[in-house]
Chain A
Amino acid sequence: MTSVSNGSLSLLNFFVFNTEYGPREGEEEKKLLFYHPSEVDIDTKIKRIGLAEAVVKFTETFSDKPCQSVHNQKSRQLFFEPEPCFWMLMTVSIPYKEKVKDGQTVTEYKEDQVQDSVFESILKQAYKMFKLFNGTFTTILARANGEVESLRQRLEHFYSKYLLTLKLPQGDILDVFNGIHFLPLDKNTYLRIQCFINSLEAAFPFVKYTAFLYNEKLVWSGLEQDDMRIMYKYLTSSLFPTYLEQELHGGSNRPTSGLGHYGKFMTGPPDLNNDKNMGKLPRVFVNTNEIDEECYLIVYTALSATICLLVNVRSPLNVPLCRKLDAVLGPQMTKLASDISEQYSKRVAALNSTEPVFKYVYFNHMNLAQQTTVHIDLQKRSGVNIPQELLRLLGDINAEVSRDQEDGETIVKTTSDYWVVGKKSDQREFYVVINQRSANLIDINEEVKRLCSTYLNSIFFLE
């Protein structure tokens, strides 16, 4: 029995359509808003949409909940209706292995390697990311006086790039949580940051919302949770890595101010002496105070500290204003960053001094706080600390736990002699992977109790 070839998980198609458009026969093309891959012929596109619409309609007869996914032998299709009558579909291929058995080639599809919960989340994220930069479909249409073509253009413009950045094979439980890493910080430093932000917003009233991060971890958000969640995703998965890469390659030779601080605009004017160049300034749509409020996103960084300033697009913004911001932000952010760094390094040193024999993932649905030692870094750039099948097991336990509202605990021993424990208490989930071959169920139970009491002692987390 030898393996011949493998097929990995990949994106087969991704499309957006509206069930209300083109109701008459022959006009089906009108339903189509976006389709990837674009080179597919129009007939196939229309057939796919037709099938999807049929599935949606058909399943409606059995359940109040809309159709979520369709399992095929070779592919998995995920459904999502973000706005009334607008449907987004994503199809991924099922990984397979070709084996020669008794002289015959057999293809073995690994259906269990594709988890609905993970890809549903990825699909929803794709929508939310679009919404962050473009507003809702409805808003776009309203602003374009119902001109569907403008929505098509937006979708095309956004998704043609976005889909290329998707790393589908890496999808795991963190995509399901889509949480936020918060920076542990002592009260006094936190209050200092708070006061700094307050006086900043008072001095520059056009700054409507502010978020403060350190080392890609969130410290404060003036945005609502949902807005922050997707913006956090954008910052950590796109803006920060891109910026870091530019810095490493010296792509932008920004003149350092020479004023004894390390502050720079990450988005916004690349050169403060050039009044004409505002640089690349993303516009985002947030729903904190009003629906789909369009704001400029100014990101400023000093050492490891980053501050996001959201300015309503109606407020005038120019380089001289940015110079004023820089004069205030530069020195203060530098000072705060070095103070946090001092505290942070102490904390990290204290944690690392006792290398734990277990790995864990924690998530709180209430504040979206997530923590992981399963992943080597927070953004999954360097892979994971545990075997892939265990990572998938975490996803499975999570899916199991999510189905049931009750609190509970699941303990699994894998064939590779790992113990995996998933616990849920109220809105919190805690997953532990322990590599202790000789341990029995009682040992593991005791061990997890001990872990909870050391790591989760300040919260109400029932054993």
Chain B
Amino acid sequence: MENLTEAESNQEFRGRLDRYLESGSIMAVEEDHYYINLCKNPIRFEPVSRANNVFFDDANKQVFAVRSGGAMGVVMKGPEEKAMISFRMEDRGDIISIKFSGDKKILAAQRSIKTVEFLNFQEDMSTDQQEYSQSCKGEATEIRGFVWTNICEIVFITSTGLEHYQVIPEKRTLKRLKTLSLQINWYFWMANSSLLLISSGTLGNVLHPFQFKQPGIITRLPKFEVDLPVVPKPPKLSLLDRDVLVAVIYEILYIVVLRHPQSTSCGAEIVLYQLQKEGPAKKTDILKLDMSGRFAVNVVDNLIMVHHQASKTSVIFDIRLEGKSDGYVTYHHPVLPALGIKPFKLLLPSVNMQAGTDKTEYNCELYSANWIVFQPDIVIDAKLGCLWILKLNLDPLVTMIPDKDRLIQFLLCRRDSKPVILFVCAQMLIPGHQASLQSLARVYDLLNRIYKQYLDAEAADASTGGSSKKVVIEQSDMFTHVFSVFEEYKDIKYKFMVAVLIEYIRSLNQFSIPVQHYLYELIINILVHNNCFYQLHQFLQYHVLGDSKPLACLMLSLESVYPPAHQLALDMLKRIQTANEEIIEVLLSKHQLLPALRFIRSVGIVDTVSSRKFLEAALSTEDSMIFYTVFKFFEQRNQKLRGSPKFQAGEHCEQYVKQFESQFGQEAFMPVPSVL
């Protein structure tokens, strides 16, 4: 999914809300009944035909269209490729499998059950056409397949074991690294995690995981047995490769096993085995399908998506959502009732020349028999020549999951869900859709739990900050996108607004997240607009609204409408401890000269304050006693500081010295000590 920039996501959010406002409901606007979509622009390739073979390498997500064994050309495309690549190969028989190495320098192609051929490529994707090959060991051994485990390393999976080779392209030769004996039925390769899963045993249910994390080394993880619903007599291969896959769900590796029901009366299940570092994989979750028949499984955005061919519907499972646990295994039901994938129209060159248009719309058959799914999220229709990536559309879920608690839990686990979450939160405040305070409390707790984890992770690991892809709803997001509805909707009761903000602040506090002052300002403004000064006073009294200079200044500005605000502001400035300047300003502006002098003495800053500022304020009181006292105070300070009562030129007090002299006379000055 493309990453939205901040600005784009804001725009998207606005758009969403506007659409919503105009129609009263999202559903009416678009045909957004579908939450599973095929990507808009599928990768197109030449469809399978007698002359054209198509291969897909799910490790590199590359489609190969091979015409006439490669002699007529090979075209390679992929969703992660910048451009398509085409080249020619000698036609030396039908290709069974074809895969590039991770750096696209070596192409491996299998044409027989005994050997794999290699072809070197240059930087510009040209090839010298000189193939070299490697056969597997042993007379009766057959190659079941091969996987690139590293840039220049390849593993042959044969009927009798694994053969690990290093490819040396410049010498056009391979070097055997290791051979491992094992009876093998089938395998599954998970390229992202370098995990190779091997099925062994007569029933096929003994699974051996191997990992190829470091070059040249095979790490064998403990094997484990998948329990089968029924063991056939005589024993035969019962666990088939099409029913097993490996997936990373919420950053954890799982073996996903589809278990077909014994009878058609009960539904199929999906069993998740969590891969363990030490010890065999552990059965952790069971997904109840309540259907039977042919299924295909994908993993999209950490959701397990199960497609059912017979009913042409799909269901999604989220193992993060609460399920029933029996103490060992957690049972899950689909997040939503089964629903089809959104219909897909393809523009095809017109066959009907009469129509005059050069393109016609073609409704693709969904859940077609020609569909093959690949992990994690790929659907291929080889007859049509299309490769799609499955997408999740979050918008319709807002109305499909009425329980906001569950909805937010679900959305918080999704990628790029931020605009939708903010939309839901804003919607919960809009009259007509207003949620209960209890519901809001639960939602805010969900948001802030993740917010706190994010803040902690950021603090602990400042260097790699922002590495987490998780959706985090911060205070600024809530302020800009959610609480802004208070401005737009004049019919929201102030009591509700205050309750909502207090609930949010409570939640932030509960998770020890420092609250930003703009939230406080918002709540203060609402209270002030509604003349709820006493409530405001009480909030401040219990420090619900945290101390800050901006807040203190806001309180000072309220003094004219609510006199106690003055005291509250001064208390706050005092607690901040770094606001001595501000306190002096406040006192001087209120002509409280003596309290100001007492204050500077109490905090020990007599020596550093500006005498001019004090004298100016003293003079403006038009109280000669005050002026006299303040003047004398600073004469004494000068005396103590410099051994002379005189003011220095830099203090700019000449005007006040003159004033003092004219008011009280020359003799009122403190005598200057004679220099001995």
Contact = CB atoms under 8 A, between A and B. Distances in A.
B506 A199 contact: no
B571 A459 contact: yes
Interface string A206-238: 000000000000001111110010000000000
Nearest to B566: A426
Contact of B598 (A198, A366, A462): A462
Interface in B613-656: none
Interface string B485-500: 0000000000110110
Contacts of A406: 594
B560 to A, nearest CB: 15
A414 interface: no
B437 interface: yes
Nearest to A227: B534
Contact of A195 (B437, B567, B598): B437
Contacts of A463: 598, 602
Interface stretch (B3-11, B155-163, B283-291, B537-545): B537-545
A148 B538 CA distance: 40
B509 A459 contact: no
A191 B571 contact: no
Nearest to A226: B534
B499 A198 contact: yes
Interface residues of A, number: 36
A460 interface: yes
| Secondary structure call for the B interface | helix
Most A CB contacts (10 A, CB to CB) among B437, B510, B598 go to B437
Interface in B563-604: 563-564, 567-568, 570-571, 573-575, 583, 594-595, 598-599, 602
B276 interface: no
A227 B543 CA distance: 23
B510 A459 contact: no
Contact of B542 (A185, A203, A225): A185
B424 interface: no
B602 A187 contact: no
Contact of B538 (A187, A192, A220, A462): A220
A460 B534 contact: no
A458 B575 contact: yes
| Secondary structure call for the A interface | mixed
B534 A221 contact: yes
Interface string A394-420: 000000000000110000000000000
Contacts of B509: 187-188, 191
A366 B570 CA distance: 13
B509 to A, nearest CB: 5
Interface string A346-387: 000000000000000000101101000000000000000000
B542 A187 contact: yes
A201 interface: yes
Contacts of B594: 406-407
Contacts of A133: none
A46 to B, nearest CB: 44
Given A199-B499, A202-B499, A222-B535, A191 B505 contact: yes
A115 B594 CA distance: 31
B570 A195 contact: no
Most B CB contacts (10 A, CB to CB) among A228, A366, A406 go to A366
A407 B438 CA distance: 48
A66 to B, nearest CB: 24
A185 B62 CA distance: 64
A347 to B, nearest CB: 14
A366 B499 CA distance: 25
Contacts of B495: 198, 201-202
Contacts of A459: 571, 574
A194 interface: yes
B598 A192 contact: no
Nearest to B496: A202
Interface in B481-527: 495-496, 498-499, 502-503, 505-506, 509-510
B129 interface: no
Contacts of A191: 502, 505-506, 509-510, 544
A364 B541 CA distance: 12
A460 B570 contact: yes
Interface of A: 182, 185, 187-188, 190-192, 194-195, 198-199, 201-203, 220-225, 228, 364, 366-367, 369, 406-407, 425-428, 458-460, 462-463
10 contacts: A187-B543, A187-B544, A198-B495, A199-B437, A407-B595, A458-B571, A460-B567, A460-B573, A460-B574, A462-B595
